[in-house]
Amino acid sequence: MRMKLFGLMAAMLLVAGCTENADNGDTTQGGGEVAPTPVADTPVALDPQEDLVVNVGDRIFFDFDKSNLRPDAIDQLNRQADWLKMNGGITVAIEGHCDERGTREYNLALGDRRASSASQYLRSMGVDGGRIETISYGKERPAVLGSNEEAWAQNRRAVMVVKSGSLS
């Protein structure tokens, strides 16, 4: 909820910035009068995935060759669970990923385990399992390039991707 409010406020601030600009009589944009942007009920039609990424966080991270949920991952999943409960029409896929320091087939299984860990936790927090699918990409889709520990740490992840539905 807090995150959602923050998003709303950010959007309103943006809008406010625009109108203020127009009020100052800035005519450099040409086209003469700039109609004040109506601050309506839906300030910005935010894409659900964007909202998830910006206001909630779409990913959790894992230790090497592990699929258990770290404390930082649990915090993140709690926010995702709240967001999913708040936006009941949205279905998601959780993608499980691995770093490049493993064999392909084992990493497919490990990615599946990671996605499943996240999915099971969300269900335990009361999210309907029918809204969550899982898919493993093993080491096939690293988020970050580089053969170093920083890159590997960012690539050992489970990422929530919106499949259908819109924000409530």
- Residue ranges that bind another protein, judged by CB under 8 A: 65, 67, 100-106, 108-110, 112-117, 120, 135-136, 140-148, 151
Length of the chain, in residues = 168
For residue 32, the SS3 value is: coil
Residue number with CB closer to another protein (46 or 109): 109
Q: Which pairing describes strands 91-97 and 132-138: parallel, antiparallel, or unpaired?
A: parallel
Residue number with CB closer to another protein (53 or 109): 109
CB of 151 to another protein, least distance (A): 7
CB of 115 to another protein, least distance (A): 8
d(CA 19, CA 35): 9
Residue number with CB closer to another protein (56 or 118): 118
E strand or H helix that includes residue 117: helix 104-124
CB of 104 to another protein, least distance (A): 6
d(CA 168, CA 90): 9
